[in-house]
Chain A
Amino acid sequence: MDQKSPNMTIDYVGGDVIVATLVDEKILEESQIQALESSFLPLIEENNPIKLVVDFSQVRFLTSSVLGLLIRLSKKIYESEGILRLCGIQPKIYEIFKITRLDKVFDIYPTRQEALEGLV
């Protein structure tokens, strides 16, 4: 079953893989970060260990506060031996990951299809 929260769409794929598609074109306000965190945390707690793919294909702009959110989420996910994959990151945003070397920290795939390989 697919669900919607204000800032993302959730798809369950193959039974136990969750694909969260971020729907805001720009993620920069603290309220957006808090809303995303409030949506992700219960998902991670209720699906333990989670297999989570975060799809950025609709995101055109973000700031370093989103990187902070991803790191907080990844710590929670890795603590419980879950899997986190990112996909669909636009080239200009990928540059932010490269500059901060977070492209070495996160598993990043070009497409949602490739991110799902080996998970379902």
Chain B
Amino acid sequence: MAANPECSPTQLELPGTMEAAERLCGELLQEAVRKGFGEEDLFAIHLALEEAFVNAIQHGNQGDPSKKIHVQYSITPSRFEISIADEGPGFQPDALPDPREPENLYKCSGRGVLLIRSFMDQVQYNSKGNQVRMVKFKSKPGPGKDSNSPPQNVL
């Protein structure tokens, strides 16, 4: 993938398949490695990307491969930012049942949005609910915690 200028986001349109999403996910993580993100940040970004793409492709586009996924991203040495939009009707993330509540603990799905919100620093949905914007700021290594250590087989 060509390196994108730091301040101008790259825009892409993907086929609505997990294969296409996985390819892009790998490229984005490689770019984040090149920009110096550490292992913990990469884990968080990877998890958020996987959950967001699954939501967009399987729930938003309802698995219809003819529907597209629209991606806009910018990766700088200090922040990873991405917007992922699908062509579905959207949903209201704040209306989702809390999967941590006792009555929902044994439900088999519904945890992706919670994980995205937990692992990323900023998460916003558009009003229609078919686009999520996520930001991860690069962590600074602290005492006893080397989150900026070079990734080991993260990709």
Which size bracket describes the interface of A in this complex?
A: 20 to 34
**Interfacial residues, chain A to chain B (CB-CB below 8 A):** 25, 28-30, 60-61, 63-65, 67-69, 71-72, 74-75, 92, 96, 99-102, 104-105
A67 touches B106 (CB 8 A): no
Residue contacts A-B, CB under 8 angstroms, 27 given: A25-B153, A28-B50, A29-B18, A29-B22, A60-B153, A63-B47, A63-B50, A63-B51, A64-B51, A64-B109, A64-B111, A64-B115, A65-B54, A67-B111, A71-B107, A71-B108, A72-B108, A75-B106, A96-B47, A99-B114, A99-B118, A100-B100, A100-B111, A101-B99, A101-B105, A102-B105, A104-B105
Which B residues are closer than 8 A to A by beta carbons? 18, 22, 40, 43, 46-47, 50-51, 54, 99-100, 105-109, 111-112, 114-115, 118, 153-154
Residues of A within 8 A of B43 (CB): 61, 92
- Residues from chain A with a CB closer than 8 A to the CB of B50 are 28, 63
- Shortest Cβ distance from A105 into B: residue: B105
Name the prevailing secondary structure of the B interface residues.
Answer: helix
A-B interface, 4 closest residue pairs, ranked by CB to CB distance from nearest: A68-B108, A64-B111, A101-B100, A99-B118
| CB neighbours of A64 from chain B (8 A) | 51, 109, 111-112, 115
**Chain B residue at minimum C-beta to C-beta distance from A101:** B100
Rounded to whole Å, the gap between the CB of A107 and the closest CB of chain B is 14
Distance from A56 Cβ to chain B, minimum over Cβ atoms (Å): 15
> Which B residue sits closest to A68, measured CB to CB?
B108
Tell me the complex Cα distance, A8–B115, Å.
26
Residues of A within 8 A of B111 (CB): 64, 67-68, 100
Selected from B46, B47, B106, B108, the residue in CB contact (under 8 A) with A105 is B106
Which chain A residues lie closer than 8 Å to B51 at the CB level? 63-64
Which residue of chain B is the closest to A30 with respect to CB atoms?
Answer: B18
Instruction: Give bound CA distance, A68 to B100, whole Å.
Output: 14
A63 touches B114 (CB 8 A): no
Q: Which residues of B contact A71 (CB under 8 A)?
A: 106-108
Q: How far is the CA of A29 from the CA of B18 in the complex (A)?
A: 8
Contacts of A75 in B (CB 8 A): 106
Distance of A102 Cα from B115 Cα, bound (Å): 13
